[in-house]
C-alpha cells in the first residue's frame, strides 16, 4: 500500500517533465522566448523575445527576402531552414505576404541575413529551453 502511493507520487513529476520537454521547444519555436517564459524564466524569455523579434522585424523593414520551401539552389534551401527557425514570425510573414521583394541593394541583403540569423538564434533558444526542461540547465 505504501509502495503504491510512493510510485504514484514519483510518476506525477516524471509526467510533467516529459510534457515540458515537448511543450517548451514547441512553444519556443512558435513564439521566440516563450519556451523560457512557460518555465518561469521571465527575464531570459523577454530578452530572447525582444532580441529575436527585433532582428526579424528589422530584417523585414530593410526589405529583406523571406525564403519559401524550395528544392533548388543549396543557398536557398539553407536560407529557408534559417527562416523557418523564426517560427510564428515566419508563418505570419508568409500569411501577410511580407518580404517577397527582390534583393536589389545592399540593405536588402543585410535584412535577408538578419531574418535568417533571427531564425538560427531561435533554434539556439529552443535548445536552451529544452535543456532547462530536462534539468540540464537552471
Q: Footprint of another protein on this chain (CB under 8 A)?
A: 44, 47-48, 51-52, 54-55, 58, 60-63, 93, 96-102, 104, 106-108, 110, 113-114, 117, 121, 124-125, 127-128, 137-138
For the record, the C-alpha cell of 13 comes out as 513529476
> C-beta of 11: minimal distance to another protein in Å?
29
How far, CA to CA in Å, does 58 sit from each of 29, 48, 110, 129? 19, 15, 10, 25
> C-beta of 28: minimal distance to another protein in Å?
11
> C-beta of 17: minimal distance to another protein in Å?
19
> C-beta of 12: minimal distance to another protein in Å?
27
Of 24 and 55, CB closest to another protein: 55
Q: Rounded to an integer, what distance in angstroms lies between the CA atom of residue 119 and that of residue 80?
A: 10
Of 16 and 105, CB closest to another protein: 105
User: What CA dihedral angle connects 73, 77, 79 and 84, to 10 degrees?
Assistant: 160
Q: Rounded to an integer, what distance in angstroms lies between the CA atom of residue 88 and that of residue 123?
A: 13
Of 4 and 38, CB closest to another protein: 38
Backbone angles phi, psi at 101, to 5 degrees: -75, 165
Of 11 and 61, CB closest to another protein: 61
Q: Say what angle helices 106-133 and 42-61 make with each other, to 10 degrees.
A: 160
Amino acid at each position: 500500500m505504501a509502495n503504491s502511493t510512493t510510485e504514484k507520487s514519483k510518476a506525477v513529476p516524471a509526467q510533467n517533465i516529459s510534457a515540458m520537454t515537448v511543450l517548451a521547444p514547441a512553444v519556443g519555436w512558435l513564439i521566440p522566448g516563450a519556451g523560457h517564459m512557460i518555465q518561469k524564466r521571465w527575464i531570459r524569455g523577454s530578452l530572447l523575445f525582444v532580441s529575436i523579434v527585433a532582428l526579424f522585424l528589422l530584417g523585414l523593414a530593410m526589405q529583406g527576402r523571406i525564403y519559401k520551401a524550395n528544392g533548388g539552389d543549396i543557398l536557398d534551401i539553407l536560407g529557408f531552414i534559417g527562416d523557418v527557425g523564426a517560427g510564428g514570425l515566419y508563418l505570419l510573414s508568409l500569411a501577410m505576404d511580407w518580404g517577397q521583394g527582390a534583393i536589389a541593394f545592399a540593405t536588402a541583403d543585410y535584412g535577408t541575413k538578419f531574418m535568417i540569423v533571427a531564425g538560427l538564434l531561435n533554434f539556439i533558444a529552443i535548445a536552451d529551453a529544452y535543456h532547462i526542461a530536462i534539468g540540464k540547465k537552471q
